[in-house]
Amino acid sequence: MENAIFTANNVWMMLCTGLVFFMHLGFSFLEIGLTRQKNTVNILFKNVFIITVGLLLYYIGGFNLMYPGFEDGDSGFFKFAGFGIAAPDGGMTPAYADGGYTWWTDFLFQGMFAATAATIVSGAVAERVKLPSFFIFTIIYVGLVYPIVGSWKWGGGFLDSLTIGEASGFYDFAGSTLVHSVGGWAAIIAVALLGPRIGKYSEDGSVRAIPGHSLPFTTAGVLILWLGWFGFNGGSVLSADPELTSLTLVTTSLAAAAGGVSAFLVSYFKFKNFDLTMFLNGILGGLVSITAGADQMSPNDAVIIGLIGGAIIVFAVSLLDKLKLDDPVGAIAVHLIAGIWGTLAVGLFGALASADQFLVQLVSVGIVGAFCVISAFIILLILKVTMGIRVSKEEELEGLDIHEHGMDAYPDFRMKQQ
């Protein structure tokens, strides 16, 4: 491979790595904005934990677990002996031509991805989860479950070669299933085991909206996530190939725009007001929907996938409330439901569309779903039975910030006399 192309590829991948890292600020803003002030420090703490511990875990074991065979003949399960990843011979140089960029960039880009799955769960369990239990869950889920599932496809495992008829393997470009649904499945199990927040559902069946504390932060979070998706999807090309990267950015942005507009319109006709949070969640729905096939779709396909992805969000949020699954930030609707839709859409639209491909996508969604549901259920049930996963009623009412952190998010915020 030519040296200058290798350099340009690597620059692009480093930029994308930075953008995916930046998504963690987006998730933080989104989540604190949609939840009550009394739990803000707790959510921020969780998110900072996820990115720092997630990265270290991925370094210690996840990367080698997810991409077996890359690490110099060693089977690499955890590699505790050698502590941390090792570069293959010449791994940092253009000789590592397979990915078209350096081994180090590869690790860091994938590491930023890994932490995302736990972040999705974080939003759904907000305002009532016990912090140490969440830490343990995160360590196991990011350290083991995520890289195992990832290895099935991105590590060249059995989903990658799953053949049905003409279709030659499961396709999930940047992770509608492998990242978003992996997080989403754990979120739905966690929410079911945790139960709703106090006061969310009353016995007469009515649902109480529990508004968050800052829509500016929520909006900033979604715009930062959209920008981050330039790296999430654009970097998943794994090179700076001009045709694929720029097409990917176009499909990603059009699906985001279409998802937002669709959710805005559907919610306007359903509820007769201009609902900013639906608009914003629709954008995220569009982004998650396009993620599985962002490099396979025409711009027109992307608009249609986004329109459906955004509309789905509005209905999914209502449906989850009917099922009394209390998800404060809409994470299950956005990451699980739109993630499934996006994965299936690869069989319906774009270059790979075929009945066989649709079947492969459906089967893969099912296999990944079953594994994640079972894993999350086992981990969380053990935690529930042993140390408990939910804070006390008193703590939930008074707020997690004071109880677990001894501080308030805005300790010196004062109103002037009015």
Site for its own copies in 280-299 (CB under 8 A): 280, 283, 299
The token duo for 398 is 């008074």
Q: Does 387 bind its own copies (CB under 8 A)?
A: no
* Residue 151, C-beta contacts closer than 8 angstroms, at least 6 positions apart: 65, 66, 67, 68, 157
Q: Give the footprint of its own copies on residues 110-149 (CB under 8 A).
A: 111, 131
* Residue 386, C-beta contacts closer than 8 angstroms, at least 6 positions apart: none
Q: Does 359 bind its own copies (CB under 8 A)?
A: no
Question: Can you tell me which of 30, 129, 258, 338 binds its own copies, judged by CB under 8 A?
Answer: 258
Give dist(CA 272, CA 104) in Å, integer.
Answer: 51
Binding part of the chain for its own copies, among 73-81, 242-250, 331-339, 369-377 by CB under 8 A, reads 242-250
Q: Which residue in this structure is represented by tokens 């799953």?
A: 162
Binding part of the chain for its own copies, among 9-17, 153-161, 326-334, 362-370 by CB under 8 A, reads 9-17
Q: Of 184 and 234, which CB lies nearer to its own copies in the complex structure?
A: 234
Q: Does 19 bind its own copies (CB under 8 A)?
A: yes
Q: Of 15 and 319, which CB lies nearer to its own copies in the complex structure?
A: 15
User: In the 8-state DSSP scheme, what is residue 272?
Assistant: S
Q: Give the footprint of its own copies on residues 203-232 (CB under 8 A).
A: 210-217, 219-220, 222-224, 226-227, 230
Q: Does 243 bind its own copies (CB under 8 A)?
A: yes
The token duo for 316 is 């999914």
Q: Does 398 bind its own copies (CB under 8 A)?
A: no
Give dist(CA 163, CA 360) in Å, integer.
Answer: 7
Q: Does 81 bind its own copies (CB under 8 A)?
A: no
Do residues 116 and 233 lie in contact, with contact meaning Cβ atoms separated by under 8 Å?
no
User: In the 8-state DSSP scheme, what is residue 213?
Assistant: S
Per-residue CA distances from 70 to 87, 89, 119 (Å): 9, 11, 27
Give the DSSP per-residue string, 101-154.
Answer: S-HHHHHHHHHHHHHHHHHHHHHHTTTTB-HHHHHHHHHHIIIIIHHHHHHHHT
Q: Does 97 bind its own copies (CB under 8 A)?
A: no
Do residues 121 and 190 lie in contact, with contact meaning Cβ atoms separated by under 8 Å?
yes
Size of the site for its own copies (CB under 8 A): 112
Q: Of 4 and 385, which CB lies nearer to its own copies in the complex structure?
A: 4
In sequence order, the β-bridge partners of residue 167 are 164
Question: Can you tell me which of 136, 192, 249, 359 binds its own copies, judged by CB under 8 A?
Answer: 249
Q: Does 311 bind its own copies (CB under 8 A)?
A: no
Q: Does 14 bind its own copies (CB under 8 A)?
A: yes
Q: Give the footprint of its own copies on residues 167-186 (CB under 8 A).
A: none
Give dist(CA 399, CA 213) in Å, integer.
Answer: 13
Give dist(CA 155, CA 67) in Å, integer.
Answer: 5
Smallest distance from the beta carbon of 274 to its own copies, in angstroms?
5
Question: Can you tell me which of 172, 275, 326, 396 binds its own copies, judged by CB under 8 A?
Answer: 275
Binding part of the chain for its own copies, among 31-39, 175-183, 198-206, 347-355 by CB under 8 A, reads 31-39
Question: Can you tell me which of 64, 105, 133, 296 binds its own copies, judged by CB under 8 A?
Answer: 105
Q: Of 62 and 369, which CB lies nearer to its own copies in the complex structure?
A: 62
